[in-house]
Amino acid sequence: MSTAPALPTSRPVTERPAHRDGNVLRWLAAYTSSMVGDTVYYIALSWTAVREGTPSQAGVVMAVSALPRALLMLGGGVIADRFGPRNVVIGSDAVRCAAVLAVAGLLFVTTPGLWPLALLALVFGIVDAVFMPAVGALPARLTGRRQLARVHGMRGLANRLAYVAGAPLGGLGVAVGGEAAAFGLAGLLIAVSVPLLVSVRIRELPPDDAPGADDTTAWRDLRAGLRYIRRHRVLSPLMLAIALGDLGFVGPLNVGLTLLADERGWGATGLGWVAAGFGTGAGAASLLLAVRGRLPHAGHVTAYAVFAGSAAIGALAYVPAAMAAAGVALLIGLLAGLSGAMCGALLQTQAAPAYLGRVTAVSSLVSLGLAPLSMPLSAAAIGAWGTGPVFVVSAAVCGLAGVVVLGARDLRRAELPR
């Protein structure tokens, strides 16, 4: 159980707006620093792996973390709920920092080959399995339910900032100081998050709501979490909608987009503009939620954003010019970002805090374990039938997520807290 400093529970706590709450802002600064460090780490890992081995060996190194992350994710949700998300995030960042700095030191004194890179990727995959559920469970312990949607939008902006700032920082680190310097920079950025997290205060759960009682086992906690999701009238269809949306979205907007740019002759510059359009739209959706705090009729907004975004995905394959495609990608990013942000906010506000680690673990497993399987399938399908039919089928799969939302009465009527 968590032993972290807790907000007083003897009297109601005045709910301060999240963007003015020092406690939330310290957590956000810690999260942003950790995510920027993650991005720098991935740039350094991919560059070093390519330099030290063949392209196929580099691909293996980059994929090593995926298997333990997928296999251990559900168990990581149990750990986050049992020991407290703050403690788990602090421990995870400390382990990741130590591992990255160890590899940086090794690269500084010698040229060890690929084995330390593969070991580092394996460590990151194992740690991510507990880090991601804990990160999802932490906001509900920092602020009140009415602020969770705003916090989710702020977290989305932090993710965008991490990618925009982290990628050039990683490249600069490699260019100026080499691979060792880039890994060292990643480790220092992750290290910044630890003291900030130590200073964050959390709300204690009510005694009857706290997981991990002495007479339960981790296996029982896991089964209880899965049973909780299955029986929940909002979370159960919401998980299905998230799965369908990710399955239809990840393939065409990753590998499919590259193949589309090559087919249309847009080149790397055109592909960059299209990717930038998507990122800008998604960032705008997160900003909207961060500023507004809530949107009315959350269930309906989610469904209609899914339908409109699905139509835009299907249309993208038939746009001839790169700049026009960038405009469509901007619309896709805005609509997909809005529906994704609303799904995340509903997940945060509908799940009981004691189960949020396990709920986040299931959601993360769907997004990081199942959805990436659509990428090789999309590539093979495009090779056989072309980009147009595959994008249209992917759009239809995304659209099914909207059908699920409208078809589930409680999810359709779901609202974010006022």
pLDDT digit string (tens) for 158-169?
Answer: 998 888 888 888
N-terminal to C-terminal alpha carbon distance within the chain: 31
Q: Spelled out in words, what is the top-level CATH class assigned to the domain 224-412?
A: mainly alpha
What is the residue extent of each domain of the chain?
Answer: 19-200, 224-412
Quote the pLDDT of residue 409: 96
Burial 121-143 (b: 16+ CB within 10 A, else e): bbbbbbbbbbbbbbbbbbbbbbb
Predicted pLDDT of residue 203: 79
CA–CA distance, 158 with 160 (Å, rounded to integer): 5
This prediction has a pTM of 0.86
Amino acid at 340: G
User: Which residue ranges in the chain fall short of pLDDT 50?
Assistant: 1-13, 208, 212-214
* 258 touches 393 (CB < 8 A): no
> Are the C-beta atoms of 266 and 322 separated by less than 8 Å?
yes
pLDDT given for residue 12 in this prediction: 41
CATH of domain 19-200: 1.20.1250.20
**Alpha-carbon gap, residue 177 to 184, rounded angstroms:** 10
Whether 224-412 and 19-200 are alike in CATH topology: the answer is yes
**Six-digit token string for 29:** 């600064």
pLDDT of amino acid 213: 47
pLDDT tens for residues 361-403? 999 888 877 777 777 788 788 888 888 999 999 999 999 999 9
* 1, 128 Cβ separation under 8 angstroms: no
CB atoms closer than 10 angstroms to residue 324: 12
Residue 271: predicted pLDDT: 84
